[in-house]
């Protein structure tokens, strides 16, 4: 399947694995790239630029196909060593970067002068237009359904994607609620050039996370996510569990007086224990409403083949058949 996204990134299938904390390691990124999509290593999961460089080198031993690196720019007092991480990306020969979080404009000249294509994650059309204006090559448009941070506008993809298609000239992919061939065909119909999947890729055999996490996603329905930190205007969609219920209780009790310190125990630094040790009830970890569409844990290759077969069948038999 050829779209502007497959042409831009040199991939065979218009499917991108989103950068995910303590999920986006070389094993998963390489598996996605080998299956024809674009795998993504998550930079800030690595504790230093040197460790990121090692992870990139590892991925090169596992795939000869294009893969990217996610670099999230955080509004932190003590910022990560962003120049060091960018050096590791450049020296590692990575030519695709997924940026997220704060505006990446400060870092664009260094990335572009080294021939790196940039796709920026956005939750609003105005943010996508800003990304286009600063020279991003593409954007990932995240609807309200997505796991992680959906922004504060609460616009679902059925509206957000066609609005993006109306406004943008650069290509974009749909993110949030993407799981199967139906998702891909719908995203294309609404104007996207492909799709970005996060939660669906966690529930694959190659995802280097504890089986408890995969089992929790398979067990969950579309009703089993929660929105936390709304009063802090840092909304995050997470899987419902005991730790998340403690967060919500504090939010209800404290209201507008809530501070991050009140919920730190349930939201800060828990990913290693959740993803690697399997303490799935410990606290807040990102999960999309799409969990309701996830019923198995296939290999990445099996998943990607299935998605493309479903998409082709939908287009050829269902949609073309409607025209008589």
- 8 A C-beta contact, residue 201 and residue 28: yes
At 78 the pLDDT is 82
Report residue 178 as tokens. Answer: 């993407």
- 8 A C-beta contact, residue 5 and residue 14: yes
- 8 A C-beta contact, residue 38 and residue 9: yes
- The DSSP output letter for 204 is S
Report residue 258 as tokens. Answer: 């809530």
Contacts of 97 (CB under 8 A, 6+ apart): 68, 69, 70, 71, 89, 111, 116, 117, 118, 119
| CA–CA distance, 50 with 88 (Å, rounded to integer) | 7
Q: Could you tell me how many helices (H) and strands (E) the chain has, helices first? A: 15, 10
Instruction: Calculate the alpha carbon distances from 197 to 73, 190, 319 in Å.
Output: 20, 17, 24
CB count, 10 Å around CB of 139? 26
At 77 the pLDDT is 67
| CA–CA distance, 40 with 23 (Å, rounded to integer) | 10
- Domains of the chain plus CATH, in order, are 4-208+297-321 (3.20.20.70), 221-286 (no CATH)
CB count, 10 Å around CB of 268? 12
Q: Burial of 32 by CB count in 10 Å (0-12 exposed, 13-18 middle, 19+ buried)?
A: buried
Alpha helices in 173-316 (DSSP H): 181-189, 199-202, 211-219, 242-254, 260-267, 271, 300-313
H/E segment holding residue 141: strand 138-142
Triad 226, 236, 255: Cα angle to 5°: 75
- How does pLDDT run along the chain (324 residues), one tens digit per residue? 999 999 999 999 999 999 999 999 999 999 999 999 999 999 999 999 999 999 999 999 999 999 999 999 987 768 899 999 999 999 999 999 999 999 999 999 999 999 999 999 999 999 999 999 999 999 999 999 999 999 999 999 999 999 999 999 999 999 999 999 999 999 999 999 999 999 999 999 999 999 999 999 999 999 999 999 999 999 999 999 999 999 999 999 999 999 999 999 999 999 999 999 999 999 999 999 999 999 999 999 999 999 999 999 999 999 988 987
- 8 A C-beta contact, residue 161 and residue 174: yes
Q: Helix 181-189 crosses helix 300-313 at what angle (to 10 degrees)?
A: 50
- 8 A C-beta contact, residue 245 and residue 312: no
């Amino acid at each position: 399947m050829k779209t502007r996204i497959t042409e831009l990134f040199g991939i065979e299938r218009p499917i991108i694995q989103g950068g995910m904390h303590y999920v986006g390691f070389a094993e998963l990124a390489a598996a996605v790239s080998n299956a024809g999509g674009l795998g993504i290593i998550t930079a800030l999961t690595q504790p230093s630029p040197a460790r990121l460089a090692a992870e990139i080198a590892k991925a090169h031993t596992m795939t000869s196909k294009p893969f990217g690196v996610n670099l999230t720019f955080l509004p932190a007092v003590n910022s990560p060593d962003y120049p060091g991480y960018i050096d590791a990306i450049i020296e590692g020969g990575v030519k695709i970067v997924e940026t997220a979080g704060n505006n990446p404009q400060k870092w664009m000249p260094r990335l572009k002068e080294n021939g790196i294509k940039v796709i920026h994650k956005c939750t609003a059309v105005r943010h996508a237009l800003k990304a286009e204006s600063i020279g991003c090559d593409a954007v990932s448009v995240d609807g309200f359904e997505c796991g992680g941070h959906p922004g504060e506008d609460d616009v679902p993809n059925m509206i957000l994607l066609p609005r993006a298609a109306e406004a943008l000239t650069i290509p974009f992919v749909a993110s949030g609620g993407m799981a199967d061939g139906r998702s891909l065909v719908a995203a294309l119909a609404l104007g996207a050039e492909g799709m970005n999947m996060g939660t669906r890729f966690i529930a694959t055999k190659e995802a280097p996370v504890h089986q408890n996490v995969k089992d929790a996603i398979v067990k969950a329905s579309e009703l089993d996510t929660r929105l936390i930190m709304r009063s802090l205007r840092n909304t995050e969609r997470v899987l419902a569990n005991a730790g998340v219920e403690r967060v919500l209780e504090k939010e209800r009790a404290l209201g507008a007086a809530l501070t991050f310190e009140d919920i730190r125990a349930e939201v800060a630094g828990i990913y290693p224990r959740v993803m690697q040790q399997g303490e799935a009830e410990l606290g807040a970890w990102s999960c999309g409403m799409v969990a309701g569409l996830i019923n198995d844990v296939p290999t990445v290759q099996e998943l990607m083949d299935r998605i493309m077969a479903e998409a082709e069948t939908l287009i050829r038999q269902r949609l073309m058949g409607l025209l008589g």
